[in-house]
A and B are shown apart, each in its own frame.
Chain A
């Protein structure tokens, strides 16, 4: 039953074996992967600051990200079949010790986060040098790695309080990263400030929720909490905890009316940061939301409290339409894409709201597909910013002629955003529509298609800006440098690759959805 290789220590009535097993913990490197994945960037970040060398900062950051990516791939390969790895930090057995748990849900998210970081960093080198003051180069990469570490930690840990700790690590560094955009536009400071206030409130709500859970259960290990609240679903403390956690994490995930920090943050942050955050930060929050909703609280509990029906689904539908309509009227491409992100988060929430295996599969697949899509698009906009100094529609009009490769990559990303068949975006929307039909929600299926039409409009606006509008008089700007084009095209091609070959995305998503729908037994299975 237990899958963590050397760590099936808590098998009932196997105390002797347990002692034996613990000795094995440190023996192979493969067993240490969950820890190393976090440790490498976490150590690299202060190292960059201590060395203080501007030449070494980027290679170190890139090396750390790549190492994490390789480890994430190994982890994903191991758990994609439905296996669960349980890693006990320092050999301390949970619930007292901190446990890292890797199943296909979070291994898939780890794969996304590390993959995006590995692709964005080479891109960042040129982009950041142009947009952020060179003086802060080293600090920037340290912050980037901290943020990266935080996101990974949030995803991998199986300890509820540990989630909060890593959430704060990633949030604090995110504020700094956003504020780094102040060199290009001073408004980045207010954007970062707003996000700081909002993010802190969100984190506070989250930790209040955890406190309430601790009150009710006396434990902080997710699996343990799940076990102990199973028979007290009527308990008001538990219900309040649920509400606080959903709203707190929902703010990080930018659920529609809690999204107000996002457009400014994405617009004024340095382009590389925007590309990284848009593809990972909200996705990680969505993952945490799912983890708490389905694994800590359980699917049955969700049926009981009706939060999904009355809050999540209406807000998801609202986001799909309102944010899309707003996106249509934006005059700044970064802002346009930021609002479209909000709409896309609506699709993920909708998938969660279906409370079915298909719906969750769609949500997780869309989380991944939208991540790579948005990465490609924001990198494209970043290249425009590099060449034109801004991302306003008027400012970059006619860029299709001077920057054909960048524009073409953005068109591919745009098609994936709409969900054109043959692109990644189509796959997850298709599964989402299937989920709606499965649930018998015809109108919702129609709404999904209708809101995609809104996406057609704003993507068309983007294409029109790039190709059909005459370029204003200005100094001829050339194509973006190769170091930006290659990452951008990697993501654009990934949009197509994952639109044609769905083995990985749908396989991992389905496996993850099965784990979630199993509820807390899915958690407890791994044993502690």
Chain B
């Protein structure tokens, strides 16, 4: 009875036996599990298939409908491609974490109630952090901790929201909700953190480039798309999402243009692509939701392809910084081709996957008369082409020759990239099979003259702008730099303000200043002083003092008893 078994369990069981297997069996298992899961998910009927009683609640582990199925399937595909790409990895920690991570993501998508969703939501958070820690550097450790705190925080907020939701409605059913009560706002916020809404987004650009070469590929597929799915399920048609999404498409562009680390550029462009999906969820019509699902599907593929190609470069050269790369097309021609396919897809060139999915969302926005949003999305599309479509391949493989002559990527990476690239092109040329998977019936023809011509105009002018800027030298050069983002406020500005206050307070206010700046440390030391092993609160007390406490407590209890 494969349909009775939660698909996530398949992944977890595999993760449980994986550590004891020899390497080649491990790698095979990593490929077999997503395939098996995909076949099961493809074939099982719709409905609520697996209930588990838990503390008097009915947990729904297998909600199969058209929306959850397409997300679960693309997750299986992404897991397969990611694992194929990671064929060479011998590290059991990464392998187990990758399996649990993808299994949790699929479990979360198939969750029919908020508690199940929460369990898998936290599962993705905890498993994925090991992909970052697996790099085993000091920086990665701290980045991982920051990432973990934010992700777990999102889960805790979700749980709080779920509890309030239960108090309001008497159930935990995860269906479409209306923003308005604290419960739904909390759930919305939790989804928003995972979806990297503007100002909540920093964990993404912080963590993804810090993971291992293969870890980033896996990371890029699941967490944020899970959040998009959750929004589509819970908050479709919530108007505020349109504007949040529009903002999301815009602001990462500028960061992406000036960023030097190519993997971070991709992280910013990932954020920007999420914006399109969020807009689609916000519009909430059948066409728009189809667009969101299709775009998520296509996006996972081409984003994975881009991360794979940049990852291959990093794998071979040891760096992903634009300023240190260039001219690699000479020795890594295949990787370059795949990278260009990914770039063309993300830029929505006709005949590539991005085109047939993004135009659904754009058309939906026009149809619902959100013209300004439509214009924003158009501008963002041009921006995407700019930083992902041109910048990534250009700086990595062309530009000025860095003198590096690395070997071509290893065969399994090439194979993974080739399969992914094939899907990108295939979907672009023949969108019907993807459209058939979408949540609602599709009557959409992407290849009309207007669409194609509009898109090409946009792309060519954007390319022209890039060329002109490069030729005239106005384009921001790839510099070794660190760009400030919102996380600066809590990582740097907060402490700096304290230091500033201390400075202006001057001699007379030195005491105040020192109190402010030494606040955290002081509290820590005070606690350590009073509660540490030698501290007043934790040391062994003389027997008499203990007895005194008994007397005091008895006295108080007696007084309370007599007075009340």
Q: Taking beta carbons and an 8 Å cutoff, which residues of A are in contact with B?
A: 190, 193-194, 197-198, 201-202, 205, 236, 239-240, 242-244, 246-247, 250-251, 255, 257-258, 260-261, 263-264, 304-307, 310-311, 322, 325-326, 328-332, 335, 339, 421-422, 427, 430-431, 433-434, 437, 449, 500, 502, 506
| Residue B457 is within 8 A (CB to CB) of chain A in the complex | no
User: Nearest Cβ distance between residue B465 and chain A, in whole angstroms?
Assistant: 50
* Contact residues in A for B163 (Cβ distance below 8 Å): 433-434, 437
What mask results when residues 530 to 563 of chain B are scored 1 for a CB within 8 Å of chain A, else 0? 0111010110110101110110111011101110
Pair B531/A240 contact, Cβ less than 8 Å: no
Pair B549/A240 contact, Cβ less than 8 Å: no
Pair B538/A330 contact, Cβ less than 8 Å: yes
User: Nearest Cβ distance between residue B555 and chain A, in whole angstroms?
Assistant: 9
Tell me the interface secondary structure of chain A in the complex. helix
Contact A258:B557 (CB < 8 A) given known A304-B564, A430-B55, A506-B55: no
Pair A198/B546 contact, Cβ less than 8 Å: yes
* Residue in B closest to A422 when the chains form the complex, CB atoms: B119
Can you list 24 A-B pairs, Cβ within 8 angstroms, ordered by A? A193-B543, A194-B543, A194-B546, A205-B554, A239-B558, A240-B558, A240-B561, A244-B554, A247-B553, A247-B557, A258-B549, A260-B549, A304-B564, A306-B560, A322-B537, A326-B537, A328-B527, A329-B532, A329-B535, A330-B532, A335-B533, A335-B538, A502-B55, A506-B55
B557 CB contact (under 8 Å) in A197, A307, A339: A307
Tell me the interface secondary structure of chain B in the complex. helix
Pair A311/B556 contact, Cβ less than 8 Å: yes
Pair B119/A243 contact, Cβ less than 8 Å: no
| Residue B118 is within 8 A (CB to CB) of chain A in the complex | yes
* Residue in B closest to A193 when the chains form the complex, CB atoms: B543
Pair B55/A263 contact, Cβ less than 8 Å: no
Pair B553/A506 contact, Cβ less than 8 Å: no
User: Nearest Cβ distance between residue A29 and chain B, in whole angstroms?
Assistant: 35
| Residue B490 is within 8 A (CB to CB) of chain A in the complex | no
* Residue in B closest to A365 when the chains form the complex, CB atoms: B55
Pair A197/B547 contact, Cβ less than 8 Å: yes
Pair B538/A198 contact, Cβ less than 8 Å: no
| Residue B528 is within 8 A (CB to CB) of chain A in the complex | yes
* Contact residues in B for A335 (Cβ distance below 8 Å): 533, 538
| Residue B167 is within 8 A (CB to CB) of chain A in the complex | yes
* Contact residues in B for A194 (Cβ distance below 8 Å): 540, 543, 546
Apart from A193-B543, A246-B557, 17 more pairs, CB < 8 Å? A194-B546, A201-B550, A239-B561, A243-B560, A247-B550, A258-B549, A260-B546, A263-B538, A264-B540, A305-B564, A329-B528, A329-B532, A331-B532, A422-B119, A427-B55, A449-B160, A506-B56
* Residue in A closest to B56 when the chains form the complex, CB atoms: A506
* Contact residues in A for B532 (Cβ distance below 8 Å): 329-331
- CA separation between A501 and B55, bound complex, in Å? 8
* Contact residues in B for A339 (Cβ distance below 8 Å): 538
* Contact residues in B for A326 (Cβ distance below 8 Å): 531, 535, 537-538
Pair A332/B533 contact, Cβ less than 8 Å: yes
| Residue B261 is within 8 A (CB to CB) of chain A in the complex | no
* Residue in B closest to A245 when the chains form the complex, CB atoms: B557
List of 6 A-B pairs having minimum Cβ-Cβ separation, nearest first: A243-B557, A326-B531, A239-B561, A306-B564, A329-B532, A260-B546
B554 CB contact (under 8 Å) in A247, A261, A328, A506: A247
* Residue in B closest to A242 when the chains form the complex, CB atoms: B561
Q: Give chain B interface residues in 143-202, CB to chain A under 8 Å.
A: 156, 160, 163, 167
A325 CB contact (under 8 Å) in B56, B531, B546, B549: B531
* Contact residues in B for A193 (Cβ distance below 8 Å): 543
A310 CB contact (under 8 Å) in B540, B552, B560: B560
What mask results when residues 500 to 533 of chain B are scored 1 for a CB within 8 Å of chain A, else 0? 0000000000000000000000000001100111
* Contact residues in B for A433 (Cβ distance below 8 Å): 163
| Residue B122 is within 8 A (CB to CB) of chain A in the complex | yes
Contact A239:B562 (CB < 8 A) given known A247-B553, A329-B527: yes
* Contact residues in A for B56 (Cβ distance below 8 Å): 502, 506
Q: Give chain B interface residues in 441-493, CB to chain A under 8 Å.
A: none
* Contact residues in B for A304 (Cβ distance below 8 Å): 564
* Contact residues in B for A502 (Cβ distance below 8 Å): 54-56
- CA separation between A190 and B540, bound complex, in Å? 10
Pair B119/A421 contact, Cβ less than 8 Å: yes
User: Nearest Cβ distance between residue B122 and chain A, in whole angstroms?
Assistant: 7
* Residue in B closest to A261 when the chains form the complex, CB atoms: B546
- CA separation between A339 and B532, bound complex, in Å? 12
- CA separation between A179 and B54, bound complex, in Å? 44
- CA separation between A252 and B554, bound complex, in Å? 14
A331 CB contact (under 8 Å) in B54, B533, B543, B557: B533
- CA separation between A502 and B538, bound complex, in Å? 36
Q: Give chain B interface residues in 277-297, CB to chain A under 8 Å.
A: none
Pair A329/B547 contact, Cβ less than 8 Å: no
Q: Give chain B interface residues in 114-132, CB to chain A under 8 Å.
A: 118-119, 122
- CA separation between A329 and B529, bound complex, in Å? 9
User: Nearest Cβ distance between residue B21 and chain A, in whole angstroms?
Assistant: 17
| B118, B163, B528, B553, most chain A CB atoms within 10 A | B553
- CA separation between A363 and B540, bound complex, in Å? 29
* Residue in B closest to A315 when the chains form the complex, CB atoms: B553
User: Nearest Cβ distance between residue B391 and chain A, in whole angstroms?
Assistant: 39
* Residue in A closest to B562 when the chains form the complex, CB atoms: A239
- CA separation between A124 and B54, bound complex, in Å? 34
User: Nearest Cβ distance between residue B294 and chain A, in whole angstroms?
Assistant: 33
Pair B561/A329 contact, Cβ less than 8 Å: no
User: Nearest Cβ distance between residue A303 and chain B, in whole angstroms?
Assistant: 10
Pair A421/B122 contact, Cβ less than 8 Å: yes
User: Nearest Cβ distance between residue B129 and chain A, in whole angstroms?
Assistant: 13
* Contact residues in A for B554 (Cβ distance below 8 Å): 205, 243-244, 247
- CA separation between A164 and B558, bound complex, in Å? 21
* Contact residues in B for A258 (Cβ distance below 8 Å): 546, 549-550, 553
- CA separation between A246 and B55, bound complex, in Å? 32
* Contact residues in A for B560 (Cβ distance below 8 Å): 243, 305-307, 310-311
